[in-house]
Chain A
Amino acid sequence: MKQITWRKGLFVVLAILQVSAALYMVWRWEDILQTGQSYRWQTAPVDPYDALRGRYVRFSFKGNKVPLVGEAVPGVGQRAYALIGRDEKGYAVLQGVQAERPRKGEYVRVKVQQVSAAGVSVNLPFDRFYLEESLAPEAEKAFRAAAGQESSVAVRIKNGDAVVEELYIENIPLLDYLKR
């Protein structure tokens, strides 16, 4: 009998833990969306599929090979920090990658893909935009039709973490563009 009471108590703790884990994730991303710095990145999207989370549009970025800053060389697959600047059109660009967290300036946490003399290739932590399953292939078609036009993604960044806000084709939000 004693044992079952124990299990009941621990179950309540587990239930709270499970809900808190979910809520913490929500809070973390919501906080970035509300208070993070806003950036626009130029992209080129493609359309894969995620069995568990549904369809999404994935995008790749131009110029994600960037010079190494500082002495320490990050290993492949490890975390590093990419410093963010803006180009003449106002789009965000990566200016350098370093192994330690920067003390000042805007940065985003990235995963190192390759290290060579030419620079460091990195994976940005935002590479996808989830869509209703019927819309994802349409979105891909729209991107292909609009090839040559500017497409971009709006991202909020805070303390190195990033959340995607919106995807744009010719400066029109994707869903509005598809409804046209």
Chain B
Amino acid sequence: MSNYEPILLARIGKPESYKLEGYRADGGYEAFLKALKNSKPNEVVDTIKNSGLRGRGGAGFPTGLKWTFLPKDHPGPIYLCVNADESEPCTFNNRILMELDPHQVLEGVMLACYAIKSSRAYYYIRYEYGLSYRRLQAAIDELYAAGLLGQNIQGSGFNLDIYLHRGAGAYVCGEETGLIESLEGKRAWPRIKPPFPAIEGAFRKPTIVNNVETLACVTQIMRRGIDWFKSIGVAPDPKNPRDAGSYGPKLYCVSGHVNNPGCWELPLGVTSNELIRLAGGVWKGRKVKAVVPGGLSMGFLTANELEVPLDFNGPGKVGCLGLGTAAITVIDDQTSMIDVLHNTCQFYAHESCGQCTPCREGTGWMLKITDRLRKGQGRKEDLDILVEVADRIGIMPGSTICGLADGAGWPVKNAIRKFRQEFEDAIKTGRRSHLRPLAMAH
């Protein structure tokens, strides 16, 4: 895989890679103009469906299939919401695309809108991404000036407006119905489903929510074809009827205790070992204790699980929630897993929207208990209580409205199962972690 040629990141590093002129010189918007001229919307949907593209936002749902859930012959409006909230800790691949190749993403937005017959896209971007916001706005302005957005684009009869909408610092706005509520000017409280957004979404109209990297993939599939896309990644396991395969390239961001953190484009299915090598190895000559395979909510891989393929099915086979955002965070062997878990719990307790009691109270409890463990005041029964709380707040029993609770519980269950000895030792000896009271304010 070392000879893999990046496609999504191919233009990164070019001077002013974010400008329309350079993008068009590299063949940009040809796929869109071709689709507009030669293809019917449902043909674009079919192409994406047949490519096997699965959403890159965390859940891995087949993109083309999601598009077909829209009601047939709806009089409109139909909306596309671009999910650029990217607040899952350790994840920054969408930001790289938006800052350095915004037109590749926007072409995907335009193709998706054409496919789903939407004439308006709301691009929901987290407030913290100021540079992305400004680059995207400049790119959209360029498109209007070039007659590629607006009314009757290139005489095709297709109309499209794209509006950027800035968030205000809340993780739950990345959950698709939380995003929609926030867009509508309300608190970002996820909605009970069904109805799913494809039937009743933004402003109560049919809506598709897609991730930024998913849309960049749409651009490349429409440009290079299904065969190209399917030649990359991992084919379905014939013995597992629920395995839909993991086709295409993926942006893997690597952070934490490596020498050179960064973002790499590789085929789905690479291993943590390979990514750690690319990132220059573990810092300070240390060894790996654990790896977070895909954003904080996925749980942990141990040092013995670094050969697990990072495709949509790999991490799930070793007790992780899934691939998530494919953000790899490396934790070295000098780090306390209690500190790591406390940090994790702190995040979810801060970000729970508070709508469902199990999530609101559970995340608070988990934070309190891990805080106690860190202070050397852990009790023997604490580990079982933690696991019990984590087990009960997830969406599995259907007790909460959105996936945040499941994401909060998974790392807890996982860390205690895989690193139980370390937790027990700390409780027995009353060992305290490095404490800094200020930073613990929550």
**Is chain B a partner of chain A in the same complex?**
no
Interface of A with B (CB < 8 Å)? none
Interface of B with A (CB < 8 Å)? none
